[in-house]
Amino acid sequence: MSEALRVAKNATGRTSPNPLVGAVIVKDGRIIAEGWHRKAGTPHAEIHALNMAGELAKGATVYVTLEPCSHYGRTGPCANALVEAGVAKVVVAMLDPNPKVAGRGVKILQDAGIEVVTGVLEEEAKKLNEVFLKWITKEMPFVALKTAMSLDGKIATATGQSQWITNEASRLRTHELRDVYDGIMVGINTAIKDNPSLTTRLPNNMGKNPVRIVVDSKARLPMNSNLVTDGKAQTIVAVSGAASAGAVQDLRDAGVQVISAGEDKVDLPQLLKKLAEMNICSILVEGGGQLNFSMLKAGLVDKVYAFIAPKLIGGRDALTPVEGDGFGELNQAVELENAETELIDGDILITANVAK
């Protein structure tokens, strides 16, 4: 099962809105085939592995990280394919929370006389598919907040300089994160101040660009900004009822998709619900302190990536990763759990989940 989990990761960031799935076929004590789901609409992991195994699949044991599907979508049911291949046993890491599956895949296998074992390395499988689990069960995107700061918690100097606080290796890691998230979100202040492109820039032009999302209640995004003009990726601007009809139309005429959510300002939960309906299953928030606080206060953040550089900036007016009104009581603070630390050429990356 560990090998199945490993090969599933080969498609990280490429299967949305589908989950990551790996499959390994074992016979006579050795691995004879393996496969992983590569992209939505293409064959699932089990099919790749069965094709590789051929006739040897008969009587074999299949290890798969997610319950085999039982429904007809863009591809046929994997449970049926396993039955037809004549496998003897199927070991499943976790049941599929998708209502279209919900244990029916296991039932098809058992009804055909195939031995089924479930729950092997289940927690590891759930971690692998944390994005899919959030999207399919809550109908909301998985949201990660990424920030880069000095050791004293500043994301810019008092004069607004922020390029660059962290080192080149940390910035490369940021682009690796962008590569695996469906969307990247900033607030209008960041969009105006930095005029970012929010694209993925990896060596040899590898990587995919996420959908760019700007939270812009009054539709103030300049028409000459990179997010409007560069054409490198889709841009969505989220506005409220306070945005002028003319500004909204200008954005649409420029090819920007405009979503309305909220009356006086953008309603973030409503916005995320709409993005989830568009199959944007994961979002990397790279905004400033105000957007970060708003997302945290609304309980919308699932994970935090905090890059910390070994330098001190100081300044009572220097910006911090979380601004806004803050939380008045310590028991209101956002608690993080399962923290992992990594040294990146002298910088520190802390990755943690928001305690729910």
3-state secondary structure of 212: strand
* Annotated binding residue 307: no
Concerning whether 335 is annotated as a catalytic residue, the answer is no
* Annotated binding residue 174: no
* Annotated binding residue 234: no
* Annotated binding residue 338: no
* Annotated binding residue 316: no
Q: Are 106 and 94 in contact (CB under 8 A)?
A: no
Which residue is associated with the tokens 């209502």?
Answer: 99
* Annotated binding residue 346: no
Q: Are 96 and 69 in contact (CB under 8 A)?
A: yes
Distant-in-sequence, close-in-space partners of 128: CB < 8 Å, separation ≥ 6:
5, 8, 9, 20, 65
Tokens for 117, please give them.
């074992």
* Annotated binding residue 110: no
* Annotated binding residue 282: no
* Annotated binding residue 6: no
* Annotated binding residue 171: no
* Annotated binding residue 194: yes
Sequence-ordered alpha helix ranges (H) in the chain: 2-8, 45-53, 78-85, 104-111, 122-128, 130-138, 168-180, 188-194, 226-229, 245-253, 268-277, 289-297
Phi, psi of 133 (to 5 degrees): -60, -45
* Annotated binding residue 281: no
* Annotated binding residue 293: yes
34, 46, 122, 329: the active-site residue? 46
End-to-end CA distance of the chain: 28
Q: Give the residue numbers annotated as catalytic, written as ranges.
A: 46
Extract the annotated binding site for Zn(2+): 44, 69, 78
Binding residues: 44, 69, 78, 148, 162, 164, 178, 190, 194, 198, 201, 217, 286, 288-294
Please report, in range form, the residues annotated as the binding site for NADP(+).
148, 164, 190, 194, 217, 288-294
